[in-house]
A and B are shown apart, each in its own frame.
Chain A
């Protein structure tokens, strides 16, 4: 029943998409300045179909209709309701449907908010967007149909991977997808602008808010994924340079570069070609990331499905998107080279773009290089955190300095307030010294990171204060984002350098001494929950210097469906530190392996990401 309904909805979406393309082509040559009502109505229909389709699948998950293969493979009757719903996008088929839903939704919003722009531009953008929708619908229908039937229907499902049953992960895909899929809008706009010869400033105005909007959600999506990794994986880290994480970071670099260069385009009408390239590249990288993650070509923590035919299909979409956009770009772009420049604001913005592309190239290279060596040299290599840290960190220092100076520059004739800058530099040195005194050892490179991030923090903070005093709250967004970024780098640096880690084997009743801590294993408890059993350890961590006791209760969970063991960390956050404890059983022994980590400034680190994204959010309300 659900299957037939769902499948017919997919057909309806397909038909409405085709008719939008048809009518758009038709009305390009027609007279009149407005887009015909027919297209609006079709687009509204398309949204209705796709939303109903997604809801149908969600209903399938809620009522546990195991006649659907997707539900059978990824759900279970014993699962809490929220994870039944979130399970809809916790698998390949469902997440692809969510992807298409958002793509159609963005298409509709673009149409509604784009009334004031040139008709030809709007129509070509629509055509491009609907071709993208079409290719993804065909992909869904032929290789990953979520409404496939099993006959006879099983009584019970296989269940959702327990590590995905987590609140942060329930919201992580939708947030990230808004960013990912939203970038299709400026991909299509770029195609539309190229074909219809849209003037530079008009193009900037039409895509600006979409860029900010997607950047905001992409940032939050990456944030939610990171929080999930921290809480759920139980390794104490929050970023692993895993291929999947990199796949979400690559479009983010592009979006960040766009957010900056679009200012130049809007103000001066310069860099048009470059902005167009960035627009096209963001979505192409999104598809490339999807390909890497879903084809199973790379080994990763959270690879979905390892189905070569799916990989092949995405590769075809990717190649088509690349070729078509490349062809259109070459055919229609009017060369406008970057003119010579002085140390004005445009230069600083351009340097931001340069750094973003540098990070992008490095991360992209690191992600795909193992494929390359395997094919050419037949050796399998790993490119992990030490590679990225070595290559990227030294350049972060220069980046931070430019990022602090940039906002001080003007569009024409910049004169830096040298005295102010030197004073702030001295202050940063002093603050760095204080850190060295409190925490003792650090390396040269960390010192430079601390100094430069303090420099950026103070500069941006003064900017925020100044703007509030001048009552120009609407202009605050840049300074807030820069402030957030400075804080983020500072806290990552502190956290990276001064985390402590102890590893002990301990049995109940024992007390172990770990430097200035006493770890006491009080007892073990067994409990039963809705869909798992758990062994809960009861630990007491006593800090002998500061004289406090923290109670920590890590868990080992035994899920029945599917049968898995998961290790739940117990985390106690204080203002300055996170106390992070994980426990795992050792075979044939009454001892447990316990890892105690003291991680400074974790909450501050999360907060700085939120401050950074808040800056982007504020800019949506920027009125000229």
Chain B
């Protein structure tokens, strides 16, 4: 039984390989989805056809063909339009709590659980 699971695990992992070769258009879409269309209401530029969205889309494509990576593109856009334009807030001092609190919550939860489990064992 355990062997079967082991082999299946390997097989499942092997099926992952195709992800590694991410092509440009997928990267472009991923970036588009992370950029807010500033002239729309709550839309990403991937979802919008406004002139603004079209312009930013071509800017992003240009930057990619210049060999810029995701982070550089976001930095470029934030410096021009402010952090408001990126949907995924970057990890910096003002945003620290946003990223840290959920994980702190997880750590405390696990600690609480383990502590209680041990207490119960000792009581037995």
Q: Which residues of A contact B (CB under 8 A)?
A: 235-237, 240, 242, 299-301, 338, 340-342, 351, 354, 357-358, 361-362, 365-366, 369, 372-373, 376-377, 379-387, 390-391, 395, 419, 422, 425-426, 429-430, 432-433, 436-437, 440-444, 447, 451, 501, 584, 586-587, 593, 595
Q: A431 CB to closest chain B CB, in angstroms?
A: 11
Cβ of A379 and Cβ of B15 under 8 Å apart?
Answer: no
Cβ of B88 and Cβ of A380 under 8 Å apart?
Answer: no
Cβ of B19 and Cβ of A387 under 8 Å apart?
Answer: no
B98 at the interface (CB under 8 A from A): yes
By a CB distance below 8 angstroms, the chain B residues around A301 are: 41-42
Cβ of A384 and Cβ of B44 under 8 Å apart?
Answer: yes
Q: A294 vs B47: C-alpha distance in the bound complex, in angstroms?
A: 26
Q: B35 CB to closest chain A CB, in angstroms?
A: 9
Do most interface residues of chain B lie in helix, strand or loop, or is the interface mixed? helix
Cβ of B94 and Cβ of A373 under 8 Å apart?
Answer: yes
Q: A341 vs B124: C-alpha distance in the bound complex, in angstroms?
A: 11
By a CB distance below 8 angstroms, the chain B residues around A391 are: 99, 102
Q: A206 CB to closest chain B CB, in angstroms?
A: 29
Complex partner residue of A422 from B1, B15, B43, CB under 8 angstroms? B1
Q: Which residue of B lies closest to A351 (CB)?
A: B113
Interface 1/0 per residue, B96-117 and A, CB below 8 Å? 0111011001100100010011
Cβ of A436 and Cβ of B12 under 8 Å apart?
Answer: yes
Answer whether A358 and B9 are a contact pair too, CB < 8 Å, given A242-B42, A443-B16: no
Cβ of B33 and Cβ of A382 under 8 Å apart?
Answer: no
Cβ of B5 and Cβ of A425 under 8 Å apart?
Answer: yes
Cβ of B18 and Cβ of A441 under 8 Å apart?
Answer: yes
Cβ of A381 and Cβ of B83 under 8 Å apart?
Answer: yes
Cβ of A354 and Cβ of B98 under 8 Å apart?
Answer: no
Q: A383 vs B47: C-alpha distance in the bound complex, in angstroms?
A: 17
By a CB distance below 8 angstroms, the chain B residues around A584 are: 49
By a CB distance below 8 angstroms, the chain A residues around B11 are: 429, 433
Q: A21 vs B97: C-alpha distance in the bound complex, in angstroms?
A: 44
Q: A129 CB to closest chain B CB, in angstroms?
A: 33
Q: Which residue of B lies closest to A419 (CB)?
A: B1
By a CB distance below 8 angstroms, the chain B residues around A362 are: 102, 105
Cβ of B16 and Cβ of A447 under 8 Å apart?
Answer: yes
By a CB distance below 8 angstroms, the chain A residues around B101 are: 361, 365
By a CB distance below 8 angstroms, the chain A residues around B58 are: none
Which residues of chain B (67-88) have a CB below 8 Å from chain A?
Answer: 82-88
B66 at the interface (CB under 8 A from A): no
Answer whether A380 and B8 are a contact pair too, CB < 8 Å, given A386-B34, A593-B49: no
Q: Which residue of A lies closest to B8 (CB)?
A: A429
Q: Which residue of A lies closest to B47 (CB)?
A: A235
- Size category of the B interface is 35 or more
B65 at the interface (CB under 8 A from A): no
Q: A497 CB to closest chain B CB, in angstroms?
A: 10
Q: B86 CB to closest chain A CB, in angstroms?
A: 6
Q: Which residue of B lies closest to A343 (CB)?
A: B117
Q: A351 vs B120: C-alpha distance in the bound complex, in angstroms?
A: 17
Q: B27 CB to closest chain A CB, in angstroms?
A: 14
Cβ of A379 and Cβ of B116 under 8 Å apart?
Answer: no
Q: A426 vs B2: C-alpha distance in the bound complex, in angstroms?
A: 10
Q: A381 vs B92: C-alpha distance in the bound complex, in angstroms?
A: 12
B29 at the interface (CB under 8 A from A): yes
Given contacts A357-B105, A384-B34, A419-B1, 9 further A-B contacts (CB under 8 A): A366-B98, A369-B98, A372-B97, A382-B83, A382-B89, A384-B88, A429-B5, A443-B19, A447-B12
Answer whether A240 and B120 are a contact pair too, CB < 8 Å, given A235-B47, A381-B83, A384-B34: no
Q: Which residue of B lies closest to A398 (CB)?
A: B106
Cβ of A299 and Cβ of B102 under 8 Å apart?
Answer: no
Cβ of B109 and Cβ of A358 under 8 Å apart?
Answer: yes
By a CB distance below 8 angstroms, the chain B residues around A436 are: 12, 15
Answer whether A379 and B83 are a contact pair too, CB < 8 Å, given A362-B102, A387-B89, A447-B16: yes
Which residues of chain B (17-49) have a CB below 8 Å from chain A?
Answer: 18-19, 29, 33-34, 36, 41-44, 47, 49
Q: Which residue of A lies closest to B15 (CB)?
A: A436
Q: B117 CB to closest chain A CB, in angstroms?
A: 8
Answer whether A380 and B87 are a contact pair too, CB < 8 Å, given A242-B42, A386-B34, A426-B4: no
Q: Which residue of A lies closest to B86 (CB)?
A: A382
By a CB distance below 8 angstroms, the chain A residues around B109 are: 354, 358
Answer whether A240 and B87 are a contact pair too, CB < 8 Å, given A379-B94, A386-B33, A593-B49: no
Q: A390 vs B1: C-alpha distance in the bound complex, in angstroms?
A: 34
Answer whether A338 and B8 are a contact pair too, CB < 8 Å, given A369-B98, A377-B94, A386-B87: no
Q: A301 vs B40: C-alpha distance in the bound complex, in angstroms?
A: 9
Answer whether A341 and B120 are a contact pair too, CB < 8 Å, given A440-B18, A593-B49: yes
Q: A414 CB to closest chain B CB, in angstroms?
A: 13
Q: Which residue of A lies closest to B4 (CB)?
A: A426
Q: Which residue of B lies closest to A245 (CB)?
A: B42
Q: A443 CB to closest chain B CB, in angstroms?
A: 5
Cβ of B105 and Cβ of A358 under 8 Å apart?
Answer: yes
Cβ of B5 and Cβ of A451 under 8 Å apart?
Answer: no
Answer whether A236 and B47 are a contact pair too, CB < 8 Å, given A376-B94, A387-B87: yes
Cβ of A381 and Cβ of B84 under 8 Å apart?
Answer: yes
